Amino acid sequence: MQSQILPSRSALVDRIAMQFEYGQSLICLVGNSGLGKSYLAESFITDKYSDFSKAFIQLSAHTKDVDIVRQLMEHTFRAPLVDQKLSLTENFFVLNSEQPAEPCLWVLDGARHLSDELIQELQNLAVRAPNTLYILVTAQAPNMLPNALDIHLEPLSHAESKQLMKMFFTQLPPDDDPIFKTFLTEARGNPSVLLDWQQEEQQLDLRAGLQPRLKQKHFFIAAFSLILTLCLVAALYNKQLLDLLGTKQEIAKQQTAILSEPTVLEAEHVLEAKQVQPEVEAVSKSARSELEVQNKPEQEQVSAVLNALLSAPSSSVTNSEVAVDTMQRSETSATELGPELGEQDVAQVVTALQPNKRAETQTEASAQVVSENTDHRVDISHDNQWFLLRSDTEWSIQLLAVTERKVADDFIAKHALPNIKVAEVNKNGKVWWFVTLAPFAQLDDAKLARGNLNAELLAAKPFFKRISQIKQQIQQSQ
CATH number, domain containing residue 53: 3.40.50.300
As a whole number of angstroms, the distance between CA 100 and CA 437 comes to: 76
Q: What is the pLDDT of residue 5?
A: 81
- pTM passes above 0.85: no
Which helix (DSSP H) or strand (DSSP E) does residue 474 occupy?
helix 467-477
Cα-Cα-Cα-Cα dihedral of 403, 407, 412, 414, to 10°? -160
181 and 281 both lie in a single domain: no
Q: What tens digit of pLDDT does each residue of 86-121 get? A: 999 999 999 988 888 889 999 999 888 889 999 999
Same domain? For 127 and 141 the reply is yes
Q: From residue 57, give the alpha-carbon distance in Å to each of 28, 70, 93.
A: 15, 11, 21
Residue 120 is assigned to a structural domain of this protein = yes
120, 87 Cβ separation under 8 angstroms: no
Q: Name the packing angle between helices 212-256 and 343-353 (round to 10°).
A: 120
Total domain count for the chain?
4
* 122, 183: one domain: no
Residue 327 maps to a domain: yes
Distance set, CA 422 to CA 23, 379, 386, 405 (Å) = 67, 14, 10, 10
Strand partners, 218: none
Kind plus residue range of the DSSP H or E element containing 234: helix 212-256
* 208 is a domain residue: no
Helix (H, G, I), strand (E, B) or coil at 106: strand
Q: How far apart are CA 40 and CA 48, in angstroms?
A: 12
E strands along 79-188, which residues?
A: 104-109, 133-139, 149-152
Q: Are residues 76 and 116 in the same domain?
A: yes
pLDDT for 379 equals 39
pLDDT of residue 102: 87
Please check whether residues 194 and 285 belong to one and the same domain.
no
Preceding peptide of 439 cis, ω within 30°: yes
Residue 182 has what pLDDT? 86
The pLDDT of residue 135 is 93
Q: Which of 375, 369, 342, 379 is nearest to 258 (CA)?
A: 342
CA-atom Rg of the chain in angstroms? 51
Within 312-442, residue ranges assigned H as helices are 317-337, 343-353, 357-375, 384-389, 405-415
Along the 478 residues of the chain, how does pLDDT read in single tens digits? 455 788 888 889 999 999 999 988 999 999 888 888 888 888 899 988 888 989 999 898 898 989 999 999 999 898 888 888 899 999 999 998 888 888 999 999 988 888 999 999 999 998 888 889 999 999 988 888 888 899 998 888 888 888 888 888 888 888 788 888 888 888 888 888 887 777 665 555 545 555 677 788 888 899 999 999 999 999 988 988 888 888 888 888 776 654 444 444 444 444 454 454 555 455 455 556 555 545 555 555 545 545 555 554 443 334 444 333 444 444 444 334 344 444 444 444 444 444 444 434 444 434 343 334 333 333 347 899 999 999 999 999 999 999 999 999 999 999 888 889 999 999 888 899 999 999 999 999 999 999 999 988 998 889 999 999 999 989 988 7
Which strands sit side by side in the sheet containing 26-30, from one edge to the other? 53-58, 104-109, 133-139, 26-30, 149-152
- Let me know if residue 368 belongs to a domain: no
Residue 240 domain-assigned (yes or no): no
Residues 295 and 162 in one domain: no
224 within a domain of the structure (yes/no): no
pLDDT of 373-389, one tens digit each? Answer: 333 333 347 899 999 99
> What pLDDT score does 300 carry?
58
- Residues 352, 310 share a domain: yes
Q: Is residue 220 part of a domain?
A: no
Residues 6 or more apart whose Cβ sits within 8 Å of residue 320:
314
11 and 68 together in one domain: yes
DSSP category for residue 200: G
pLDDT of residue 103: 92
DSSP 3: S
Residues 75 and 148 in one domain: yes
Query: Which residue segment(s) compose the domain that 179 sits in?
Result: 158-201
Residues 105 and 191 in one domain: no
Residue 249 maps to a domain: no
- Residue (of 137, 131, 188, 180) closest to 158 by Cα position: 188
- How wide is the angle at C-alpha 335 spanned by C-alphas 329 and 339, nearest 5°? 130
83 shares a domain with 139:
yes
Task: State the pLDDT at residue 28.
Answer: 93
- Verify that 147 and 183 share a domain, yes or no: no
